[in-house]
Structure 1
Amino acid sequence: MSQSSPFSENKDATVSDSALLERRARLLGPTYRAFYGNPIHLVRGSGVWLYDAQGRKFLDAYNNVASVGHCHPRVVEALAGQAATLNTHTRYLSEIILDYAEKLLGTAPSHLGHAMFTCTGSEANDLAIRIAQHSSGGTGVIITDFAYHGATIATAQLSPAAVGARGVGTHHRTVAAPDTFRDRGRAARDFASNVAAAIDDMRAQNIRPAALLFDSAFSSDGIFFPGAAVMREAANHVRAAGGIIIADEVQSGFGRLGQGMWGFANYGIEPDIVTMGKPIGDGHPMGAVLVRPALVASFGSNTGYFNTFGGNPVAAAVGIAVLDVIEGEGLIENARDVGAYTRDLLDALQSRHGAVADVRHNGLYFGVELEADGDESLAATKTSAVVEAMREDGVLISSCGPRGNVLKIRPPLPFARDNAEQLAETLDRALSHW
């Protein structure tokens, strides 16, 4: 009989959740937060499913990190095979790193000619800001007022969703997200003029604009998909002021929106820099920056960049496998087709439940906004209750937005029609208690 792993499911099942929570608090401290009021002790994942220590399975309708499915065999095989062969860093010559760079760049517009590798999306955004500030000579970055772009010192100052408005750097400016729901989309139409006003305010304070940094799905702001003309106009204002356009594709990229590989393409924009993380490695810690070569010519010679683990051969093998799976399994087409089917199911729920005020959708990304008789605090409380009820009923989602009243639904890309039906049925039951 083979010896069992010390990390086996059987061992995990013997540890009570309360004991794990106590140990977690003691060892990790107060900054680590667990999902759900009744945290889940997960021990295994496969495809769109997650399994707890008691063997119960949960439909994962939230994690874009495992973009091509939890523990995809092809990704696991690539990781293990390269790890058993060689893993160093980018200062040695490596064909697989160049193969990956070439393949990743091949998914993007041709003007993005260089790939730079990191370990996280936060690092990618941090590097993009450094490049933009160096290239433009400016310091000010424009973001939306409930954005999240990372956890480094630089990116935390550009993440009001995490640090609050007061935590945003004084040389940066926030603008309202292009809200396509309120005032019949007026906020979305105003987005470009708000960006222009932010540039004028910077100049009045002798701050030179460096960049517009935007999440293509405005994920933390509540999940919005504004019109292309508005986004192009905003980008034109920034470029006219000498700034750089940075598309943060950490949440919206890799086929998520079902119209191609990248969310920014929906707007007809050619960003100067594209950042990515989370889904790039299907759970392996990876990130990347794709950039116009002209922007890094001076940066590279005067400042330089090196990341010990960013772009290592194992990461490259994983990244290639992820791209191969997306293409080989038709996951962009799946995001489009199953996304449309899921949208129809959610639209039907809107007609059944008065609490559903709006359903926003693009591919396999959904924002379901809930209302409670104009009471924002009550809506947020009840939204949390819906998330918790679905967790207890075996489906994992989350919430977002400055009011905390938007259900955030963002499953792995292999999500199928029967998964969508389970999601809708479970949400129907949860809303029935609204």
Structure 2
Amino acid sequence: MTAREAMPNAYVPGQGNLSEGDAALVARRERALGPAYRLFYETPLHLVRGEGVWLYDAAGEAYLDTYNNVASVGHCHPRVVAAMAGQAATFASHTRYLHEAVLDYSERLLATVPAALSHMMFTCTGSEANDLALRIAREHTGGTGIIVTENAYHGVTLAVSGFSPSLGPGVPLGEHVRTVPAPDPALGARTGAVFAAGVQAAIDDLTRHGIRPAVLIVDTIFSSDGVIPDPAGFLAPAAEAIRAAGGLFIADEVQPGFGRTGAGMWGFARHGVVPDMVSLGKPMGNGYPVAGLILRPEVVARFGAKGRYFNTFGGNAVAATTAAAVLDVIEDEGLIENARLTGAYLAEGLRTLATRFPALGPIRGAGLFVGADIVDGDAPDAALTHRVVNALRQARVLISATGASANTLKIRPPLVFARDHADIFLDRFETVLKALS
């Protein structure tokens, strides 16, 4: 290992079975991009194109993508590409001019959330969206205290990286940040009460240190904490606790949003809560950089009265048109229902494998977002997880790991992932488990 901070499933410079050409590309990256970037896998992939659920390397080999929620409706979806190119060839400018595209899209997206959430603001990335949410929350509440889960990830701006503990010890948390244990689904019906008690303890600690609470922000499927979707409804008591303390509840839907859970458009809906703000990102534009916030109007009123907001590229005509095409595909191709049905089929297949391979532990999921633990008895096994991830890469299946112990396989394919793709994944996964047993 080198001295620099590593991440799960990362290439270690100087190692891996690289071709001469790919080794030259790695050297060029290091010279041009510097030391902070990381590559996936012991032997990095040199990808050149994508289509649907498949990615292709420079030699023409096809890899099944079970990880990528950026291309949420499939890599290079022709309808999205056509909408993007068509608008770029017609008019591409910002929101300081009147234009229908951003309004049409905003009205359409707002129709998918509860009526209390009636304003839309645009950014380019989920990190920016969460940064903007924090600015608005501070203005509205007068507080600065932030509560997140112990292995949360919410972005990479200066402010947001300070409440993204999954970035590791090299990225310190702010003094105004408190972490709480992730929800424990093993508690069943008590999950919500125990999680809310942790949030209340964080509120009390902030208050004791003279810090007024501003927000509780959670990714509503707890992706970085190990994928924790159930029991549905457990978030409500925690949302009540932060509001009682004068703070706001922010649902980070960058990973679970846009139909991925198979239970409607938004992960928060499974919990019967209406957030104060909802942050959006990656899947919104199927790879085009468009993101934003949906929020209650009263939350942004003071912020909007005191200062203007502008983002040169956020909500521009191309972004809005591309994002609208993504909604078209989700609706016309029935992708939310596909996420529900295919996700259930995939999870059941994994549970069947778990009866035969002791290293495959608990399976948790909602729709096409599944977490599968790799264990040694009852203990997390990060070393074996690393081997599984890299063996699947050799079997031409792309996947990664997550969780505080880095032992949860994060299975999050494009929403066009179908049963035949699930069968391919399960077959190759079984082969890998046999080889590693």
The answer to whether the superposition gives a TM-score over 0.5 is yes
Aligned equivalents of 1:164, 1:176: Cα separation in 2: 17
Q: Determine whether 1:113 maps to 2:90.
A: no
Q: Determine whether 1:383 maps to 2:392.
A: no
Report 1:11-50 matches (<5 A): 16-50=21-55
- Choose which of 188, 203, 207 in structure 1 pairs with 2:207: 203
Give yes or no for contact 2:74–2:414 (8 Å, CA) kept in 1: yes
Letter in 2 for 1:279: P
Letter in 2 for 1:98: L
- What is the Cα deviation at residue 295 of structure 1? 1.1
- Choose which of 64, 68, 75 in structure 1 pairs with 2:73: 68
Aligned equivalents of 1:86, 1:307: Cα separation in 2: 17
> In structure 2, do the counterparts of structure 1 residues 67 and 41 end up closer, same or farther at CA, with 3 Å as the change threshold?
same
Letter in 2 for 1:87: A
Report 1:316-335 matches (<5 A): 316-335=320-339
Q: Determine whether 1:266 maps to 2:302.
A: no
Question: Which residue is 1:352 aligned to?
Answer: 356
> In structure 2, do the counterparts of structure 1 residues 46 and 287 end up closer, same or farther at CA, with 3 Å as the change threshold?
same
Question: Which residue is 1:148 aligned to?
Answer: 153
- Segments of structure 2 that go 5 or more residues without pairing to the other structure are 1-18
Aligned equivalents of 1:384, 1:304: Cα separation in 2: 47
- What is the Cα deviation at residue 180 of structure 1? 1.3
- What is the Cα deviation at residue 103 of structure 1? 1.2
Give yes or no for contact 1:257–1:363 (8 Å, CA) kept in 2: yes
Aligned equivalents of 2:413, 2:53: Cα separation in 1: 7
- Choose which of 299, 306, 318 in structure 1 pairs with 2:303: 299
Q: Secondary structure at the match of 1:230?
A: coil
Letter in 2 for 1:144: T
Aligned pair count reads 418
Q: Secondary structure at the match of 2:250?
A: strand
Give yes or no for contact 2:188–2:231 (8 Å, CA) kept in 1: no
> Alpha carbon RMSD of aligned pairs, Å?
1.5
- What is the Cα deviation at residue 166 of structure 1? 7.2
TM-score normalised by the chain length of structure 2: 0.93
Question: Which residue is 1:243 aligned to?
Answer: 247
Query: 1:19-78: per-residue Cα shift (whole Å, max 9, x none)?
Result: 111111111111111111111111110000100110000010000000000000000000
Question: Which residue is 1:10 aligned to?
Answer: none
Q: Determine whether 1:128 maps to 2:133.
A: yes
Give yes or no for contact 1:178–1:189 (8 Å, CA) kept in 2: no
Q: Determine whether 1:213 maps to 2:217.
A: yes
- Choose which of 77, 80, 89 in structure 2 pairs with 1:84: 89
Give yes or no for contact 2:218–2:252 (8 Å, CA) kept in 1: yes
Question: Which residue is 1:428 aligned to?
Answer: 430
Question: Which residue is 2:235 aligned to?
Answer: 231
Question: Which residue is 1:314 aligned to?
Answer: 318
Give yes or no for contact 1:258–1:363 (8 Å, CA) kept in 2: yes
TM-score normalised by the chain length of structure 1: 0.94
- What is the Cα deviation at residue 202 of structure 1? 1.0
Q: Determine whether 1:99 maps to 2:104.
A: yes
- What is the Cα deviation at residue 105 of structure 1? 1.0
Aligned equivalents of 1:179, 1:385: Cα separation in 2: 26
- Choose which of 159, 167, 174 in structure 1 pairs with 2:172: 167
Give yes or no for contact 1:57–1:394 (8 Å, CA) kept in 2: yes
Q: Secondary structure at the match of 1:213?
A: strand
> In structure 2, do the counterparts of structure 1 residues 51 and 176 end up closer, same or farther at CA, with 3 Å as the change threshold?
same
Aligned equivalents of 2:307, 2:360: Cα separation in 1: 51
> In structure 2, do the counterparts of structure 1 residues 408 and 229 end up closer, same or farther at CA, with 3 Å as the change threshold?
closer
Give yes or no for contact 1:188–1:226 (8 Å, CA) kept in 2: no
Letter in 1 for 2:382: A
Letter in 2 for 1:120: T
Give yes or no for contact 2:192–2:233 (8 Å, CA) kept in 1: no
Give yes or no for contact 1:156–1:163 (8 Å, CA) kept in 2: no
Q: Determine whether 1:402 maps to 2:407.
A: no
Farther-moved stretch of structure 1 (381-390 vs 228-237): 228-237
Query: 1:359-397: per-residue Cα shift (whole Å, max 9, x none)?
Result: 001000000011124554xx1011011000011101111
Query: 1:391-432: per-residue Cα shift (whole Å, max 9, x none)?
Result: 110111100011111000000000000100111111111112
Question: Which residue is 2:9 aligned to?
Answer: none
Question: Which residue is 1:193 aligned to?
Answer: 197
Aligned equivalents of 1:430, 1:218: Cα separation in 2: 27
Question: Which residue is 1:7 aligned to?
Answer: none
Letter in 2 for 1:23: R
Q: Secondary structure at the match of 1:16?
A: helix
Give yes or no for contact 2:123–2:292 (8 Å, CA) kept in 1: yes
Q: Determine whether 1:289 maps to 2:293.
A: yes
Give yes or no for contact 2:152–2:222 (8 Å, CA) kept in 1: yes
- What is the Cα deviation at residue 163 of structure 1? 3.7
- What is the Cα deviation at residue 357 of structure 1? 1.5
Aligned equivalents of 1:364, 1:260: Cα separation in 2: 12
Give yes or no for contact 1:179–1:226 (8 Å, CA) kept in 2: no
Give yes or no for contact 1:49–1:59 (8 Å, CA) kept in 2: yes
> In structure 2, do the counterparts of structure 1 residues 261 and 48 end up closer, same or farther at CA, with 3 Å as the change threshold?
same
- Segments of structure 1 that go 5 or more residues without pairing to the other structure are 1-13
Aligned equivalents of 2:365, 2:339: Cα separation in 1: 11
